[in-house]
Structure 1
Amino acid sequence: MAELTSARYGKDNIRLYKVHKDPTTNIQTVVEMTVCTQLEGAIDTSYTAADNSVIVATDTQKQSVYILAKQHPIAPPELFAALVGQHFVDSYPHIHAAHVSIVQHRWSRLLVDGEPHPHSFIRDGEETREVAAVVRDGQGASELQGGGAKGITLSSAIDKLVVLKSTGSAFHGFHRDEYTRLPETWDRILSTSVRARWGWKHFGSVDAVRAEVGEFDRAWKVAREVTLSTFATDNSASVQNTMYKMCEAILGAVGGIENVSYTLPNRHYFEVDLSWHKGLKNTGGDAEVYAPQTDPNGLIDCTVSRKGLKAKAKL
């Protein structure tokens, strides 16, 4: 006998762009994002009995996102995600939870003759700002469906922030056995594509999220600045130790954050031995030419939480 134990559905890759036009200054501000919505609740019969009456069409979800974007600010993305999720839970009594994910794409204001241009922008990297929100009405929240208390759970992230430093990183003293070939090094290139995530305290309502609205942009700036400054200045003994320092600093700077996670893949640069060509020296202290690698690569991950708090599951 079969039993449906988990179900949700929605609309992915909703592309959204909004421009804010300040009539007093003629300065325009743009935000571009990709939104995903998924709903869960009393929808089992749509799967088990071909009952489409319980389905809020995915096109309806898409149109709702556009209408809400017209009616409300979409920055910061944490508040917009909470608004979108709350809309679905409030509008449809049989929908008990809404999952909203947002990827905000990077546009920076263009400088012309050293001055910020009022309406021109540049995509200066593939870095993204991300948000995941789950809004629950407290009903039908089974553990298999990722159940939780009534209210709003939020997490934020930075992804695809690519950094490199040409020195100031070492890796030695690690465990060695019969399978180990990696030599120890006291000076190496360190490069990674940063994914940093932080989980917020639980919010009881959209109004509670709105009351903290200034903290979301501040936290993103703090996380980004901590990541960049720690990466640059830490005399890194390992990626593990450096990422732990980043987590500690962010928790110390933003009180509303309960946990911080980093995922840092190694982007390796290997010395090229050129000694075969007339004894050309290009290893150790003489190394200047390197071969960037794609895979395989190291992948280091950690979550640091405030003492006494269990880390939230990654959204």
Structure 2
Amino acid sequence: MASIASARYGKDNVRLYKVDRDPKTGVQTVNETTVCVLLEGKIDPAYTTADNSVIVATDSIKNTIYLLAKQNPVTPPELFASILASHFPSTYPHISGAHVSIITHRWTRMTVRGQPHPHSFYRDGTETRNVLVHSSPLGLRISSSIKGLTVLKSTGSAFHGFIKDEYTTLGETWDRILSTDVDATWEWRVFRDVEEVRKEQAGFDQAWEHARETTMRVFAEDYSASVQATMYKMSEEILEKVPGVMSVTYELPNKHYFEINMEWHKGLKNTGKDAEVYAPQSGPNGLIKCTVERNSAKPKL
């Protein structure tokens, strides 16, 4: 005998672009996102007995995303995702929850002849601003994140004092290149409904700015004893700056740059203090993860 343990369905990779035009100044602002909406609830018959009467067509989900984008602000993405996540359970009684993912792609305003251009933009790297919202009878759970922010510093990082045994070949270093692709996520307190999310509207953008600025500043300024130590400092500072955030998670790959020994060529020195030319490595790489939460987030025993 078999039964469904869990099921979700919906529409993925919905590309959405919205432009806001200021009629007074002629300045336009653009927002491009990729949206995914997955629904859950009393939908088992569609799987077990081929009963489609419980299915909101995924094409209808796509249409809903576009219509709600026309009728509501799409920024901050936390708010728009909450509007989407709340719409489906309130519209279809048998749908108990929705999972909404929004990826915001970077468009940066061009500077032309020393002035910000009113309607021209360029793609500023692969970094994205991501949001996940899960609606349920308990409220709205929101997580925000920075993904694909690639950073590097050519000094100011060390790694020594680690375990050395019969498996160890890595030498200690007091000066190395440190590079990573930042994946930082911060989890918000649970919001009761969309109206409560609206009250926090300005705070979502401020939190993203704090997280991004903190990540880059601590990365640059911290004399890193390890990726672990540096990511903890980043997390701790974000929690201090943003009261509504309950936890911060970093996932940081350690992208290696290896020295190249050139002594075979006429004794040319290119290691240690003489190193200038390195070989960037695509893999394998270290991967460091850490979640830091407020002490108040832990249940009292």
TM-score by length of 2: 0.98
Q: How does 1:199-278 map to 2 (within 5 A)?
A: 199-278=187-266
Provide the rounded CA distance (Å) in 2 between the counterparts of 1:195 and 1:223. 11
- One-letter amino acid of the counterpart of residue 230, structure 1: V
The residue number in structure 2 matching 1:173 is 161
Matched, 1:7 2:7: yes
The residue number in structure 1 matching 2:32 is 32
* TM-aligned CA deviation for residue 310 of structure 1: 4.2
CA deviation digits over 1:131-163, x for unaligned, max 9? Answer: 000111x2xxxxxxxxxxx21000000000000
Provide the rounded CA distance (Å) in 1 between the counterparts of 2:261 and 2:94. 66
The residue number in structure 2 matching 1:147 is none
- Stretches of structure 2 that go unaligned for 5 or more consecutive residues are none
The residue number in structure 1 matching 2:66 is 66
- One-letter amino acid of the counterpart of residue 9, structure 1: Y
The residue number in structure 2 matching 1:123 is 123
2:276 to 288, 291, 298: 288
Q: Secondary structure at the match of 2:218?
A: helix
Provide the rounded CA distance (Å) in 2 between the counterparts of 1:157 and 1:2. 37
The runs of 4+ residues in structure 1 deviating greater than 4 Å are none
Provide the rounded CA distance (Å) in 2 between the counterparts of 1:19 and 1:64. 18
The residue number in structure 2 matching 1:162 is 150
Q: How does 1:176-191 map to 2 (within 5 A)?
A: 176-191=164-179
Provide the rounded CA distance (Å) in 1 between the counterparts of 2:114 and 2:91. 48
Provide the rounded CA distance (Å) in 2 between the counterparts of 1:4 and 1:79. 32
- Stretches of structure 1 that go unaligned for 5 or more consecutive residues are 139-149
Provide the rounded CA distance (Å) in 1 between the counterparts of 2:113 and 2:155. 34
- One-letter amino acid of the counterpart of residue 52, structure 2: N
CA deviation digits over 1:213-253, x for unaligned, max 9? Answer: 00000000000000000000000000000000000000000
TM-score by length of 1: 0.94
Matched, 1:42 2:42: yes
- One-letter amino acid of the counterpart of residue 57, structure 1: A
* TM-aligned CA deviation for residue 309 of structure 1: 1.1
- One-letter amino acid of the counterpart of residue 247, structure 1: S
Provide the rounded CA distance (Å) in 1 between the counterparts of 2:27 and 2:107. 15
The residue number in structure 1 matching 2:133 is 133
Number of aligned residue pairs: give it: 299
Provide the rounded CA distance (Å) in 2 between the counterparts of 1:114 and 1:103. 31
Q: CA RMSD in A?
A: 0.8
* TM-aligned CA deviation for residue 308 of structure 1: 3.1
Matched, 1:309 2:301: no
